[in-house]
C-alpha cells in the first residue's frame, strides 16, 4: 500500500504533516498542483525580489495553522469530530484553488464575469465528483452552509481566519517587510467558541490589535505599493490590447488556453466543462510566455507594452488624495501620444491609467472580530480595545493614482 503519511518542509513552520489520506489525494490532484505555478503576490517581485512564493505554499501553510487551531479548540473541550476536522482542513486547503495567473492582478481580466471565489466553488464541486462525495462537508463549511457549527466556516473565511494569518506571515517573510509579522501561535491559542461563533478571549486583545495594524501596513506597503500598482496596470493593459485584437478576428499566435479566454466573453452562464478544463491549464507561465512572444507582434501597441513589462521599464505613478481631473488625464494621454507615436487618444488609453486604491483594515460590522470578556459578555474588538487608533482602522482610506510616462 502506498504511504500517504508524508511531511513537507516549509520555510515558515518547519515540517508540516498531511493529516489524512483524502487530504493527500487532493494535494496530488492536478487542480491543486497548478497552484505551484501561480505566485502569491503577482507582480510584487518587481519591487520585492524575494516575493516568488506560490499559492501552493500558502494553501499548505494555512492548512497547517488550521490543524493547530483545531487542536487548540479541542483542548478547550470544543466538540469537533474527525469528519468535521478533515472537512475544515480541505476547505482551507482549497480556498484559493480558483485563482488564475498572477492571482488578483488579472482576476477580472482573463475571466471577466466570474471571480476566483466562484471558480473555487466550481472546482471543488468537480473534485467532489471525482472523490465520490468525500468533499460534501468541506463544501458546506466553505460556503457557510454548515449551520450546526458556523465557527468552522469562520476559521476559513472571516476577519481573523487562517488564510489571513498565513498570508501576513508568509508575505512578510518573502518580501522582507517585517511589519507583517504577527503572533499567530498566541492568536490561535486565544481563540474560543461562544454559542457557535468564533471569539477571542479577552486577554488576546493586544494580539488582535497587532494583527489588524500589521494587515493595514502590509496593504499599503506591499499589496498596494505604488510600483506594484503601476506594473499591474501595465499587465492589465497588455491583456486588454490582446483581447481587443482577438475580438477583431486577428490571430494572436500564443498558447491556446490563454487565447481561448481572450477570444470569448466568459461569465457564470457559459463557464462550462470546456472552460473549466481550459482554465485549469492556465498559470503564470502562460502569461509570461505570451508577453515574450508578443514583443514581436505586428501590433506596435501590444509589442511596445510587452517590451516595457519584460524589461521592467514601468510607467511612473502619482498617488494623491483627490481624483485626477479629466483635463490632467487628457494631458498625460497627449504626452503619451507624442512619446510613443500614437495616432489618437484611444490608443493612448492603453498607456495611461487612473483609478483608486481603497482599504480598511477592519470592518466593525456583524461579521467583526468578537472578544469574549471574562464575565461572559461579547463585544466587538474595536469597542473592547483601549487603543483609540483601532477605531480609525474601520475607516476606509481611499487614494487615487495616475500612471504616466516620462
C-beta atoms surrounding 275 within 10 Å? 18
pLDDT of 131 over the 90 cut: yes
CA distance 119 to 271: 9
Does one domain contain both 220 and 231? Answer: no
**Confidence tier at 15 by pLDDT (50, 70, 90):** very high
Kindly state whether residue 142 falls inside one of the protein's structural domains.
yes
- What single-letter DSSP state applies at residue 249? T
Does one domain contain both 348 and 230? Answer: yes
Kindly state whether residue 79 falls inside one of the protein's structural domains.
yes
Does one domain contain both 238 and 157? Answer: no
Does one domain contain both 73 and 204? Answer: yes
pLDDT at residue number 105:
83
**The domain containing residue 351 runs over which residues?**
226-357
Among 136-140, 294-298, 387-391, the range with the most confident prediction by mean pLDDT is 136-140
Residue position matching grid coordinates 461562544: 194
Query: In 3-state terms, what secondary structure has residue 397?
Result: strand
Count of domains forming the chain: 2
pLDDT at residue number 190:
97
Does one domain contain both 205 and 260? Answer: no
C-beta atoms surrounding 130 within 10 Å? 12
pLDDT at residue number 2:
57
Does one domain contain both 38 and 177? Answer: yes
**Confidence tier at 254 by pLDDT (50, 70, 90):** low
Distances (CA, A) of 189 to 19, 91, 127, 202: 20, 21, 32, 12
Q: How large is the average pLDDT for residues 340-347?
A: 95
Q: Which tens digits make up the pLDDT trace of 143-175?
A: 999 999 999 999 999 999 999 999 999 999 999
pLDDT of 220 over the 70 cut: yes
Kindly state whether residue 168 falls inside one of the protein's structural domains.
yes
Kindly state whether residue 403 falls inside one of the protein's structural domains.
no
pLDDT of 392 over the 80 cut: no
CA distance 372 to 189: 14
pLDDT of 321 over the 80 cut: yes
pLDDT at residue number 262:
85
Q: How large is the average pLDDT for residues 266-283?
A: 87
pLDDT at residue number 389:
67
Does one domain contain both 288 and 308? Answer: yes
Phi-psi domain of 125 (left: phi exceeds 0; alpha: psi -120 through 50; beta: other): alpha
pLDDT of 354 over the 60 cut: yes
Kindly state whether residue 401 falls inside one of the protein's structural domains.
no
Does one domain contain both 251 and 205? Answer: no
Q: Which tens digits make up the pLDDT trace of 161-214?
A: 999 999 999 999 999 999 999 999 999 999 999 999 999 999 999 999 999 999
pLDDT at residue number 387:
64
pLDDT at residue number 264:
78
Kindly state whether residue 402 falls inside one of the protein's structural domains.
no
**Residue 390 belongs to domain with CATH number:** 1.10.3210.10
Amino acid at each position: 500500500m502506498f504511504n500517504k503519511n508524508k511531511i513537507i518542509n516549509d520555510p515558515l513552520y518547519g515540517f508540516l504533516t498531511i493529516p489524512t489520506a483524502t487530504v493527500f489525494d487532493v494535494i496530488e490532484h492536478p487542480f491543486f498542483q497548478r497552484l505551484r505555478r501561480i505566485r502569491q503576490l503577482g507582480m510584487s517581485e518587481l519591487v520585492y525580489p524575494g516575493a516568488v512564493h506560490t499559492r501552493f505554499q500558502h494553501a499548505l501553510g494555512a492548512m497547517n495553522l488550521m490543524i493547530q487551531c483545531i487542536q487548540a479548540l479541542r483542548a478547550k473541550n470544543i466538540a469537533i469530530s474527525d469528519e468535521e476536522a478533515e472537512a475544515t482542513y480541505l476547505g482551507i486547503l482549497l480556498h484559493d484553488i480558483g485563482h488564475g495567473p498572477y492571482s488578483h492582478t488579472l482576476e477580472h481580466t482573463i475571466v471577466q464575469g466570474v471571480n476566483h471565489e466562484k471558480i473555487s466553488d466550481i472546482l471543488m464541486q468537480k473534485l467532489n465528483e471525482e472523490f465520490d462525495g468525500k468533499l460534501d462537508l468541506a463544501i458546506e463549511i466553505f460556503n457557510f452552509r454548515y449551520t450546526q457549527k458556523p465557527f468552522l466556516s469562520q476559521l476559513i473565511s472571516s476577519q481573523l481566519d487562517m488564510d489571513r494569518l498565513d498570508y501576513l506571515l508568509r508575505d512578510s517573510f518573502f518580501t522582507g517587510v517585517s511589519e507583517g509579522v504577527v503572533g499567530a501561535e498566541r492568536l490561535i491559542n486565544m481563540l474560543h467558541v461562544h454559542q457557535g461563533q468564533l471569539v477571542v478571549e479577552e486577554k488576546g486583545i493586544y494580539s488582535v490589535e497587532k494583527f489588524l495594524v500589521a494587515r493595514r501596513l502590509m496593504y499599503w506597503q506591499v499589496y498596494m505599493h505604488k510600483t506594484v500598482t503601476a506594473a499591474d496596470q501595465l499587465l492589465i493593459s497588455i491583456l486588454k490590447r490582446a483581447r481587443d485584437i482577438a475580438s477583431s478576428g486577428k490571430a494572436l499566435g500564443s498558447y491556446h488556453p490563454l487565447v481561448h479566454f481572450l477570444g470569448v466573453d466568459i461569465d457564470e452562464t457559459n463557464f462550462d466543462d470546456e472552460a473549466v478544463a481550459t482554465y485549469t491549464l492556465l498559470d503564470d507561465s502562460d502569461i509570461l510566455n505570451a508577453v515574450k512572444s508578443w514583443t514581436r507582434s505586428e501590433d506596435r501597441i501590444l509589442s511596445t507594452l510587452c517590451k516595457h513589462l519584460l524589461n521592467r521599464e514601468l510607467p511612473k505613478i502619482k498617488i494623491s488624495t483627490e481624483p485626477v481631473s479629466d483635463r490632467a488625464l487628457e494631458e498625460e494621454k497627449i504626452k503619451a501620444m507624442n512619446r510613443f507615436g500614437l495616432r489618437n487618444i484611444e490608443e493612448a488609453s492603453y498607456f495611461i491609467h487612473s483609478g483608486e486604491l481603497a482599504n480598511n483594515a477592519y470592518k466593525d460590522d456583524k461579521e467583526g472580530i468578537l472578544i469574549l470578556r471574562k464575565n461572559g459578555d461579547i463585544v466587538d474588538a474595536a469597542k473592547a480595545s483601549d487603543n483609540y487608533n483601532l477605531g480609525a482602522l474601520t475607516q476606509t482610506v481611499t487614494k487615487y493614482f495616475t500612471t504616466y510616462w516620462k
